Amino acid sequence: MRLYLAAPILAAFQLVKAHYTFPDFIVNGTVTSDWEYVRITENHYSNGPVTNVTDPEFRCYELDLVNTANATGTATVVAGSTVGFRADNLMGHPGYFSAYMTPAVPAANSEAAGKGSTWFKIWEWPPTWSASTGLVFASENIQSVNFTVPKNVPSGQYLIRVEQIALHVAETYGGAQFYIGCAQVNVVGGGSGTPGPTVAIPGVYTGYEPGILINIYDLPANYTGYQSPGPAVWTG
C-alpha cells in the first residue's frame, strides 16, 4: 500500500515545490523574517498561484482580507534605496516581474489601504526577445528580486506589491499564474514627485493582454517582442 502511494505523493510534492510565495521583504541589504513586513498570503502553505485578475484577492492575496494587515509590521524604507522580495524557494517558472506601490491611507497596516486607483508601477523585468533566440527569461530560477524605491516618491505610508506573471501555461485565458505579495512600508527622505500613471488593483488587467494571454512556446510568425501589461514604469 505504501509503495503504491509513493509515486503520486512524490508527484504532488514536486508540483508544490515548483510554486512559491514571497515571505521576506529585503530592506537595507537585509533579508527580513518570514511575513514580518509582507502580509501573509492565503497560499502560505500551498504556494499556489492566483489566476483570477478581477478577484479582490488579486490585490495582496492576504490570508485574511480584514485582519492580516493589522497583524503585519511596517518597515521604514529610505526613498532611493534598494528593496526586494525573497521567495521561499527557487522561482522555476518563466515570467514577467514587476513591482507596484500605492500610498496607504490611513496606514500601511490598514485593511483599507490600496483600494483606490492609486497604484503605480516602479519596476519591471520583462523577458527579452530576438528572432534568433525567441523569448529569453533571465529571471527564471532565481530566488529574489531587488529594485529601487524612486527617490522622488513623497514620504509616507505605502504598500509595495511584487508580482510575477508566470507564463508557462498562459496560452488559454486564466492560465497565467500570478505570484504576489505586499510589503507594508513607511517611506522616509522622500521627494515631491507625482507618481503615475495610477491604476486600481484589481482592475489593472483584463487577462487578455498580449503579455498575459500568450503561448511563449509557439509565438506568432510576426512577433516583435514582449509587451508588458499594465502601466508604464514611474521612475521618479
By CB under 6 A, name the binding residues for ligand NAG.
26-29, 52, 54-55, 70, 75-76, 78, 84, 142, 144-146, 220, 222
Question: Cβ closer to ligand NAG: 78 or 105?
Answer: 78
**DSSP-assigned states of every residue in 186-215:** EEES-------S-B-TTTS--S-STTTS--
Residue 14 vs 130, nearer CB to ligand NAG: 130
Is residue 106 classed as helix, strand or coil in its secondary structure?
coil
User: Cβ 13 to ligand NAG, closest distance in Å?
Assistant: 26
DSSP E strands: which ranges in the chain? 24-27, 30-31, 75-78, 82-91, 95-103, 120-125, 128-130, 134-136, 142-148, 156-166, 177-188
CB of 183 to ligand NAG, least distance (A): 10
Taking the least distance from each CB to ligand NAG, the nearer of 146 and 235 is 146
**Smallest distance from the beta carbon of 30 to ligand NAG, in angstroms?**
7
Question: In angstroms, what is the minimal distance from the CB of 60 to ligand NAG?
Answer: 15
d(CA 10, CA 229) in angstroms, rounded, equals: 36
Q: Least distance in Å: CB of 9 to ligand NAG?
A: 28
Residue placing its CB nearer to ligand NAG in the complex, 11 or 139: 139
Specify the residue, 149 or 199, whose C-beta has the smaller distance to ligand NAG: 149
Give the Cα separation of 236 and 222 in Å (integer): 34
Pick 125 or 152: Cβ nearer ligand NAG: 125
Q: Which residues pair with 125 in a beta bridge?
A: 97
Kindly state the cell numbers that stand for 128: 527579452
DSSP structure class, residue 222: T
Alpha helices in the chain (DSSP H): 2-17
DSSP state of 72: S
CB of 2 to ligand NAG, least distance (A): 37
